[in-house]
Amino acid sequence: MHIILKNHVAELVSDFGYSGLGESKLFEVFCNYCVVSRHFLGRFDPKEVTTESDDAAIDGIAVVIDGDLITTIEDAEEVFKTHKTNLLVDVVFMQAKSGEAFQKAEIANFKMGLEDFLSFNPELPNGELNETAAGIIKVVLANLKRVRNRRPNAHVYYCTSGTYKAEREIKAAFDVIARYMRETEYFFNIAVTPAGRGEILKYYADLSDKNEAKLTLIDYFGMPSMPGIPQSYVGVVSAKDYVEALLVDSDGVLKQSVFEENVRSFLGLDNDVNTAIQGTLKDDGKKKLFSVLNNGITIVAPEIALTPNTREIHLTNYQIINGCQTSSTLQANRELLTNDVNVVIKFIESPDNGVSGDIISATNSQSDISKEAFYGLRSKAKLTQKYFDAKNQHAPADGRIYFERRQGEFRGQGLQISRTFDVKEIARCYAAMFLNQPHNAARYVSTIFAASGDNLFKEDDHESYYYCAALALYKYQTLINGRRNGAHNYLKVRWHIIQVFKWFAHGNTQVPEPNSKKADAYASKMIDVLHSDDRKYIPIFEKCQRAIDEIGMPTSDSLKRGRFSQDLADLVRGKLAK
């Protein structure tokens, strides 16, 4: 393996605390992390999308529905039970070879694996991930009326540590894969990508590099400085320049990362509003009026620099917080963007995360946006983030964890991924540990907000409970990834493990309410154990594992039912009452 790739693989191993995996398997995990991150913006453990070693010629499979990485058949079914229609579905297939050659025989073998998998009646070995992914895709195919373009998109990657030179036979081998994928008629858009060292390094860099751009304004005016907003401008820019400078990458692909703080994703070109935008662009008369017919776009960035004489504005780590529909429709109709199509953009510099959150909430108050999108903007979430920061000042280096309240705000800071929790993960940890709902935490992530939304980030909750729950999961996850103390055998019940951890840590099942004056002391006792130099938490986790053994490992179905959580709780109560 190339030395630079080897170093990046080592970084991934450090980030997730992996051990016991060989070089070729780690390269597969690394490549899966890089390519799946192009289609899914959230946090995930790449081992979850990596197949087992004997699985037929496919090293990774991921299904992303409506922006969420779906890992179980039940979660896929939950997505299609919601009121949403026009759901974007992306299916990612990956094969990785740590050698430097693109070999025709290996590419042909990959095609054979795809054919076998997509037959939905495989003859080659298929492990749990393959079977689950096939089941998820079947759910998608059964709900095509609610899928954008009536079919999912397919993204096929073949990765090596070498350089792709598009030699005739090798290119033909990839063309054969593309033809086969089209012939299945399962997919709408199909992309087959040979990814060599250069491409993989770029994918990895995109995950951590700062998001920077510069744009020339046609005209602008500045607004007075305001508390938390050192400078802001309203400018008129060329729509074509806007798309090329801020919206697409070097391959012309829309950069989904710039919309991370926009609470509503692109609704597709068949949405009424976007159809109207597209109609304006197709009308030679109206397109010249675009800047007055359209509501405009709002961009927030912690750093903005404007050069008045050239009218050039520089943006660092910018986010398009309002105008996702306009932006995405402009990008989808790039060929219609002539020099007389302009757009109005509001540029706001806001280094203060709290002020940024207020702006996001105020500019995205549409009634049809799911309420869970705003949990990170709640004042309790802001206080919880400050609590994490305060605890990190005194926590040992190996015990520091971070609450990324606004997605992407820690980009480029070099923080280990396994130490960073977004709003959804914090909510799942808290619900599992202190609301005694590990079965909901184990389900489709949005379920936790539907089931427990009124009890999440309440104003009178003590922040220590959120921190303690996340710290417990982090410590147990390090045991899982390190394959220590048998923890990796309990991966799927990790939410139940942290539920009962609190009871074993205190020796009883009496838990103060989150708004109780006793809550801080209760959480602090566990936090001290979890930060202890002699790892006092390990024997407690082992007790939790033995309790699981005694009651029996649940099936995938019972794992997500309250009955198993209750039976486990009753078992532990009985043990501690003796």
CB burial of residue 58 (10 Å; 0-12, 13-18, 19+): buried
Helices (H) and strands (E) in the chain, counts: 21, 15
Tell me the residue type at 17: G
What's the rounded Cα separation, in Å, for the pair 170 and 103?
A: 7
Give the pair of three-digit tokens for residue 510: 């009496």
Return the pLDDT at 367. 41
Q: What are the tokens at 482?
A: 């390190």
3-state secondary structure of 471: helix
Mean pLDDT by runs of 10 across the 578 residues of the chain is: 84 86 91 93 88 80 92 91 86 92 92 94 88 96 94 96 89 96 95 92 80 92 89 96 92 81 72 90 93 93 92 91 91 94 94 68 54 69 89 90 79 81 91 93 76 81 95 95 92 95 95 93 96 95 96 89 93 89
Write down the pLDDT at residue 151.
Answer: 96
Which tokens go with 349?
Answer: 């510099």
Write phi, then psi, for 19 (nearest 5 degrees): -155, 155
pLDDT given for residue 407 in this prediction:
65
Backbone angles phi, psi at 262, to 5 degrees: -90, 115
Inter-helix orientation angle 463-481/423-434, to 10°: 100
H or E element that contains 172: helix 168-184
What is the distance, to the nearest Å, from the Cα of residue 479 to the centroid of all Cα atoms in its chain?
23
Token pair 């399962």 is at which residue? 186
Residue 234 parent element (H or E)? strand 232-238
Give residue 379's pLDDT.
Answer: 77
Q: How is residue 50 annotated by DSSP?
A: B
| Sequence-distant contacts of 76-80: CB under 8 A, at least 24 apart | 76/135, 76/136, 76/139, 76/140, 77/139, 78/443, 78/444, 78/446, 78/447, 79/444, 80/139, 80/143, 80/146
Q: Rounded to whole angstroms, how far apart are CA atoms 349 and 352?
A: 9
Burial class (CB in 10 A: 0-12, 13-18, 19+), 513: middle
Burial class (CB in 10 A: 0-12, 13-18, 19+), 188: middle
SS3 label, residue 544: helix
The pTM score is 0.69
Residue 21's alpha-carbon distances to 5, 18, 54, 158, 201, in angstroms, are 16, 7, 14, 21, 21
Secondary structure (3-state) at 147 = strand
CA distance 557 to 536: 33
φ, ψ for residue 471, nearest 5 deg: -65, -40
DSSP string, 252-300: S-B-GGGGTT-SS----TTSHHHHHHHHHHH-TTGGGGHHHHS--EEEE
What is the model's pLDDT at position 340? 93
Q: First vs last Cα of the chain: how many Å apart?
A: 57
Which are the contacts of 574, defined by CB distance < 8 A and separation ≥ 6?
A: none
Interacting residues of 566 by C-beta distance below 8 A, sequence separation 6+? none
Of 171, 118, 48, 43, the residue nearest 445 (C-alpha):
43
SS3 87: strand
Nearest to 70 by CA among 52, 50, 48, 98: 48
What would the two tokens of residue 118 be? Answer: 């997509």
- In angstroms, rounded to a whole number, what is the distance separating the alpha carbons of residues 76 and 18? 28
**HEC secondary structure over 175-210:** HHHHHHHHHHCCCCCEEEEEECHHHHHHHHHHHHCC
pLDDT given at position 95: 95
